[in-house]
C-alpha cells in the first residue's frame, strides 16, 4: 500500500476523458482547416463559374429559438432538458467568381457541429466547481461526450490496423508484404506477393490483375537492371529473385510499361490517352502517403523494392511473419479521428450539393449569389444522423452509444471502451485471445460475454492514448543533427 498516495494523486489530478478531449480539440483546431484546404476550389459543370472557400470558423455553442433569434449562453444542462443538440455554428468564407471576376463574397453559415463537453469550445471549459454547480453540472463529471437531441452520447474508440506500416504474412500461394497507404479520406491497400518460384507481383487500387512488380518499377522510372539492383540489398537470395523477375519482365522501356498498365485502366483508347491515364492511376492510387505528384514516383519505386525485399526474406526464411494482433501494429481512433472521418464525408456531400445548386440556378437563369446556393442542412443532417444512430461511414455500426448513468463507474467504462472492426459472427480465435501486449493497456476481464467477447475491450483506467503528431518538426530536427537524405 506504499504507492497508494501516488495512485490517489494520479486520479485526483487527471481527467479520465482527457485523451478524448485532446483528440476533439486537435480535430477542431488542426484537422477542420486541413479538410477545407483539400477542397479549396469548387468548379461546377458550368466552366465560367468558380467558388473559392477558406477560413473555417467554429463559434461557441448557441441556440436558435423558435422566433429565429440566436442566443449564445446555451449550456449543456439546457440541451439535456429541452432535448436539443449541444452544437456550434460553422462559418466559411466563400468567394463567387464568374469569368475570373468576383461577384460575391460572404461569410456563409454552412451547418452545425456537435461540441464535446469540457473541450476548448465548451462553455464548461476552465470553470471552477462553484461555477459548474451554478450551471447545473456535476463538478465530478469528466466530460468527453456529446449531447444529441437531449441524449448523452459517447463515441466508442475504434481499434484499426496501423496505416503506412508494412506487414508480412504467409498466404496459400506464397508470401505477401502489405501496407495500408492512407492520405486524407483515401485508404489504399498495396500488396507485393512472392510466389514459391520467386516471381513478384503487385496489386493496388485500380491496378491490372497479376501485374508484375518489375513492369511497375520500370513505369516508375527504374529503367535498367543496374538501377533496379541498386534499389535492393546485396544478399544472394535477393539477387537470384531479381534476375528471375528481370528475365520474366517482357517490357523494354518506361513507355511500354506504362502502356501495359494503360491497356487495363483505359482499354480501347489511343496510346497517348492510355499513357496519360496510367500515369494518373500510379500518381493517385499507388502509395498515396508518399505523395501524389510526378516527382514522387522514384520514391514509390524504392518503397516497393523495400516491400519486395521483406517478402523475399520471409520466403527464404530470413525473417519471421508480422503479428497483426501485436498492439504496436494497431492504432486507436478516438473521438477526434471519428469526427474527422464523419465531417470529411459530410463536407464532400455539401460540395456536391453546392455544385448541383449552382448548375440548377444558372440553368433556370436566376441570379447567382452565395446565400441562395448554400444549404446548411447538407452538413448538419448527416452529422446528426450518424451520431444519433451510431451508423458511421465505412459501414461501421454502434460507434456512438448512450451514456450509461446507473452509477459513477458506468460512464467511465463507456468512455474507455475499445471496439474492433472484425466480424463478430466469425470465430477469429487469435483476435479474441488476450495478447501479451495488452498487459497494462487493456483490461483482460472487462469484455462482454457472447459474440462480442474479445472484440469489445476496455482500456485500463490508467492507460492513456496519445494524439497524432506532425512529422515535419522531427524531420527538421534530424536534418539539423546531420542526417542526410539519400538522393533518389
Closest CA to 170 of 347, 386, 322, 345: 322
Give the pLDDT of residue 295. 86
∠ Cα 442 445 446 (to 5°): 70
Q: Are 192 and 201 in contact (CB under 8 A)?
A: yes
pLDDT at 439 over 80: yes
* Tens digit of each residue's pLDDT (9 = 90 or more) over 334-380: 999 999 999 999 999 999 988 888 888 888 888 888 888 888 888 99
What is the average pLDDT score of the chain? 88
Give the pLDDT of residue 1. 59
pTM for the whole structure: 0.89
Give the pLDDT of residue 485. 64
pLDDT at 333 over 70: yes
**90 confidence band (pLDDT: 50, 70, 90):** very high
- Burial (CB count within 10 angstroms: exposed 0-12, middle 13-18, buried 19+), residue 114: buried
Set of cell numbers at residue 182: 492512407
* Tens digit of each residue's pLDDT (9 = 90 or more) over 254-313: 888 888 888 888 888 888 888 899 889 998 889 999 888 888 889 899 999 999 999 999
CA-to-CA distance for 293 and 295, rounded, in angstroms?
5
Using alpha carbons, list the distances in angstroms from residue 24 to 91, 122, 246, 449. 18, 11, 50, 31
Q: Helices (DSSP H) in 225-296: which residue ranges? A: 225-231, 236-248, 254-265, 271-285
- Burial (CB count within 10 angstroms: exposed 0-12, middle 13-18, buried 19+), residue 30: middle
Taking the CA atoms of the chain, what radius of gyration do you get in angstroms? 27
Set of cell numbers at residue 286: 499507388
Closest CA to 160 of 137, 140, 187: 187
pLDDT at 148 over 80: yes
**488 confidence band (pLDDT: 50, 70, 90):** very low
Q: Which domains does the chain have, with CATH numbers?
A: 15-160+333-458 (3.90.1100.10), 167-315 (3.90.1110.10)
* Tens digit of each residue's pLDDT (9 = 90 or more) over 12-65: 888 889 999 999 999 999 999 999 988 878 887 776 788 888 889 999 999 988
Helix (H, G, I), strand (E, B) or coil at 95: strand
Give the pLDDT of residue 154. 93
Give the pLDDT of residue 486. 57
Q: What average pLDDT does the segment 441-468 reach?
A: 89
Share of the chain above pLDDT 90, in %: 35
Torsion of CA 285, 289, 290, 293, to 10 degrees: 50
CA-to-CA distance for 117 and 78, rounded, in angstroms?
13
Amino acid at each position: 500500500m506504499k504507492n497508494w498516495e501516488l495512485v490517489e494523486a494520479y486520479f485526483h489530478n487527471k481527467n479520465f476523458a482527457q485523451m478524448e478531449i485532446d483528440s476533439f480539440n486537435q480535430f477542431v483546431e488542426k484537422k477542420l482547416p486541413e479538410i477545407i484546404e483539400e477542397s479549396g476550389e469548387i468548379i461546377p459543370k458550368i466552366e465560367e463559374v468558380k467558388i473559392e472557400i477558406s477560413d473555417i470558423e467554429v463559434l461557441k455553442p448557441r441556440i436558435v429559438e423558435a422566433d429565429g433569434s440566436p442566443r449564445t449562453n446555451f449550456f449543456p444542462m439546457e440541451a439535456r432538458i429541452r432535448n436539443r443538440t449541444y452544437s456550434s455554428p460553422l462559418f466559411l468564407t466563400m468567394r463567387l467568381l464568374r469569368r475570373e471576376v468576383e461577384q460575391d463574397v460572404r461569410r456563409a453559415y454552412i451547418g452545425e457541429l456537435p461540441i464535446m463537453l469540457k473541450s476548448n469550445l465548451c462553455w464548461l471549459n476552465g470553470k471552477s466547481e462553484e461555477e459548474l454547480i451554478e450551471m447545473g453540472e456535476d463538478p465530478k463529471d469528466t466530460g468527453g461526450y456529446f449531447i444529441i437531441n437531449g441524449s448523452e452520447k459517447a463515441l466508442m474508440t475504434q481499434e484499426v490496423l496501423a496505416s503506412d506500416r508494412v506487414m508480412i504474412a504467409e498466404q496459400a500461394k506464397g508470401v505477401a508484404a502489405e501496407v495500408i497507404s492512407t492520405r486524407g479520406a483515401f485508404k489504399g491497400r498495396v500488396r507485393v506477393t512472392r510466389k514459391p518460384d520467386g516471381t513478384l507481383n503487385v496489386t493496388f487500387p485500380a491496378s491490372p490483375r497479376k501485374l508484375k512488380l518489375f513492369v511497375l518499377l520500370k513505369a516508375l522510372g527504374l529503367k535498367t537492371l543496374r538501377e533496379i539492383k541498386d534499389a535492393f540489398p546485396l544478399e544472394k537470395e535477393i539477387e537470384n529473385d531479381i534476375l528471375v523477375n528481370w528475365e520474366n519482365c517482357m517490357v523494354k522501356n518506361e513507355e511500354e510499361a506504362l502502356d501495359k498498365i494503360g491497356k487495363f485502366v483505359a482499354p480501347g483508347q489511343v496510346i497517348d490517352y492510355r499513357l496519360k491515364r496510367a500515369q494518373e492511376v500510379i500518381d493517385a492510387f499507388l502509395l498515396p502517403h508518399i505523395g501524389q505528384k510526378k516527382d514522387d514516383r522514384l520514391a514509390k519505386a524504392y518503397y516497393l523494392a523495400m516491400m519486395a525485399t521483406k517478402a523475399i526474406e520471409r520466403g527464404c526464411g530470413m525473417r519471421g511473419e508480422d503479428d497483426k494482433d501485436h498492439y504496436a501494429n494497431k492504432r486507436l481512433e478516438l473521438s477526434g479521428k471519428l469526427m474527422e472521418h464523419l465531417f470529411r464525408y459530410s463536407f464532400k456531400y455539401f460540395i456536391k450539393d453546392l455544385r448541383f445548386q449552382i448548375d440548377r440556378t444558372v440553368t433556370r437563369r436566376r441570379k447567382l449569389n452565395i446565400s441562395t446556393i448554400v444549404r446548411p442542412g447538407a452538413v448538419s443532417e448527416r452529422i446528426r444522423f450518424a451520431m444519433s444512430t451510431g451508423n458511421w461511414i465505412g459501414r461501421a455500426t454502434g460507434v456512438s452509444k448512450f451514456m450509461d448513468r446507473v452509477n459513477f463507474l458506468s460512464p467511465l467504462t463507456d468512455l474507455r471502451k475499445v471496439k474492433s472492426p472484425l466480424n463478430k459472427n466469425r470465430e477469429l480465435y487469435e483476435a479474441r485471445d488476450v495478447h501479451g501486449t495488452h498487459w497494462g493497456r487493456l483490461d483482460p476481464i472487462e469484455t462482454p460475454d457472447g459474440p462480442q467477447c474479445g472484440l469489445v475491450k476496455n482500456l485500463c483506467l490508467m492507460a492513456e492514448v496519445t494524439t497524432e503528431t506532425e512529422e515535419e518538426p522531427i524531420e527538421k530536427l534530424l536534418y539539423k543533427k546531420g542526417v542526410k537524405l539519400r538522393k533518389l
